[in-house]
């Protein structure tokens, strides 16, 4: 990896009216295009840390670099215009229309009107806002619409870095999940470097490339990928903060195609019954998948093949569970435990056969 987009070096923040530290000797590197989520209980300095990046707060000591240059050596106004910013309460300008709100930073940067108009139209489409909202005022919008306008506004001047403080915090869980998914989609294309603050570990797991878990007093407990944090919490605090269902949360992050799927007992329709029975014996099963030229037809039972010559003569039965390579292991687990056979066929592109998945493999992943 090259130079990180954001680098915090031994940053300390002490507020003048407080005896304790808000941020305690924090060092953190965030790579370009990554989403780093700062998460922790209230009083852990996560918002303060975020605000020091665009100088809404200034560090007591230590250094912060954005794209290689020290933020303290830059004009704060220019610095802020180059960094997107979203807060929980959004802070739209009540006296400006939605179009004007979205155009805020481009206007401050002195873009030409036609360019601003094009950009606003682009963002409206990206965030699936309706055109007629553009001439309304923020007071006329629903909470979910306002949140989307807030994020669109932050992206207006296409800044490489975004700071987001609980950006989806003020809406109900259903709308929140929808906004999170939409934003993940957009981020997938835009590849911004994002610092995302939340107190919700599940949101952190969902949104993050890396999670920084902070403790009260602004100390960093662990900084790693969600999978690694779930697999191996650094200490008791992190373990407790992650909460229950650690194994399940980790399974939700792993896709079926990321693990080694066993091929299992496979026969082709042309195989003789003798050959089929040998395959089953090798795997210690009384059944086998029937695959014809890569296409899964179903499975056959050893008991139904008496008196036949080829495996193809028996009618293949459907598996009671199918998972695709794109499913998460958590989804696969759910299919397995609700199926009769506790074996799921793994398929891709329709019915192309990849292998079989059972509970043993999944529990090995949990323990891994």
Partner 1 sequence: MMLAQDTREPFFRPEWVSRNADRIVEQLIEHAYLTSIAVGVGSLIAIPVGVYAYRHRRAYVPVTWLAGFLYTIPSLALFAFLTTYTGLTTLTAEIGLVSYTLLILIRNVVAGLEGVPRDTREAARAMGYTPRQLLWRVELPLAFPVIMAGIRVATVTIIGLVTVTSLIGKGGLGKFILQGIQRFFSTPIVVGAVLSVLLAILADVLLLGLQRALTPWARSRPRPEGAR
Q: Which residues bind partner 1 (CB under 8 A)?
A: 54, 56, 77-82, 85, 87, 89-96, 104-105, 108, 128, 130, 136-142, 144-145, 153, 163
Comparison of 79 and 296: residue with beta carbon closer to partner 1: 79
Tokens of 187: 């981020």
Q: ∠ at Cα 18 (17, 20), nearest 5°?
A: 165
Nearer to partner 1 by Cβ, of 80 and 249: the residue is 80
Q: Which is nearer to partner 1, 154 or 251 (CB)?
A: 154
271: tokens are 């195989």
The least CB distance from residue 166 to partner 1, in Å, is 12
Q: Measured from the CB of residue 36, what is the shortest distance to partner 1 in angstroms?
A: 18
Calculate the alpha carbon distances from 346 to 242, 250, 275, 334 in Å.
30, 20, 23, 14
β partners of residue 69: 66
**Beta carbon nearer to partner 1, 23 or 164:** 164
Identify the DSSP state of 168. T
Give the nearest distance from C-beta 178 to partner 1 in angstroms. 9
170 DSSP 8-state letter: T
HEC per residue, 279-299: HHHHHCCCEEEEEECCEEEEE
CB of 6 to partner 1, least distance (A): 16
Residue 328 forms beta bridges with which residues?
255
d(CA 251, CA 229): 13
The C-alpha atoms of residue 310 and residue 270 are separated, in whole angstroms, by: 6
CB 139 → partner 1: shortest distance, Å? 4
The tokens describing 85, both together, are 């910013």
Least separation in angstroms between residue 102's CB and partner 1 is 11
Q: Which is nearer to partner 1, 7 or 153 (CB)?
A: 153
**Nearest in space to 104 (alpha carbons), one of 160, 169, 57, 150:** 150
| Residue number, 107 or 341, with CB nearest to partner 1 | 107
- By C-beta, is 47 or 327 nearer to partner 1? 47
**CB of 165 vs partner 1, minimal distance in Å:** 10
- The CA-atom distances, in angstroms, between 16 and each of 58, 96, 189 are 12, 36, 42
Assigned token pair, 171: 């809406």
């Amino acid at each position: 990896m090259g130079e990180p987009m954001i680098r915090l070096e031994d940053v300390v923040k002490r507020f003048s009216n407080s005896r304790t530290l808000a941020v305690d000797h924090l060092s953190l590197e965030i790579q370009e295009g990554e989403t780093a989520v700062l998460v922790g209980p209230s009083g852990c300095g996560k918002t303060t840390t975020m605000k020091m990046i665009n100088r809404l707060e200034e560090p007591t000591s230590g250094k912060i670099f954005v794209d290689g240059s020290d933020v303290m050596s830059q004009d704060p106004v220019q610095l802020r215009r180059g960094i997107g910013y979203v807060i929980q309460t959004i802070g739209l300008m009540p006296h400006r229309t939605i179009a004007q709100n979205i155009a805020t930073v481009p206007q401050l940067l002195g873009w030409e009107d036609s360019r601003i108009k094009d950009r606003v139209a682009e963002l409206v489409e990206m965030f699936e806002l309706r055109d007629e909202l553009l001439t309304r005022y923020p007071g006329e919008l629903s909470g979910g619409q306002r949140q989307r306008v807030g994020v669109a506004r932050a992206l207006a001047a296409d800044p490489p870095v975004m700071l987001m403080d609980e950006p989806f915090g003020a809406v109900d869980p259903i709308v929140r999940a929808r906004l999170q998914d939409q934003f993940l989609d957009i981020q997938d294309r835009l590849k911004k470097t994002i610092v995302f603050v939340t107190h919700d570990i599940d949101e952190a797991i969902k949104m993050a490339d890396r999670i920084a878990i902070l403790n009260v007093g602004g100390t960093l407990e662990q900084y790693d990928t969600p999978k690694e944090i779930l697999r191996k919490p650094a200490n008791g605090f992190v373990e407790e903060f992650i909460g229950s269902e650690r194994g399940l949360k980790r399974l939700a992050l792993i896709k079926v195609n990321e693990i080694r799927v066993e091929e299992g007992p496979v026969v082709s329709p042309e195989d003789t019954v003798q050959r089929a029975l040998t395959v089953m014996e090798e795997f210690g099963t009384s059944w086998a998948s029937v695959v014809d030229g890569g296409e899964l037809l179903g499975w056959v039972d050893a008991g139904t093949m008496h008196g036949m010559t080829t495996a193809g003569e028996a009618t293949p039965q459907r598996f009671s569970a199918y998972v695709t390579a794109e499913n998460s292991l958590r989804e696969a687990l759910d299919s397995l435990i609700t199926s009769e056979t506790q074996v799921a066929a793994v398929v891709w592109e329709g019915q192309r056969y990849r292998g079989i998945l059972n509970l043993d493999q999944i529990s090995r992943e949990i323990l891994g």
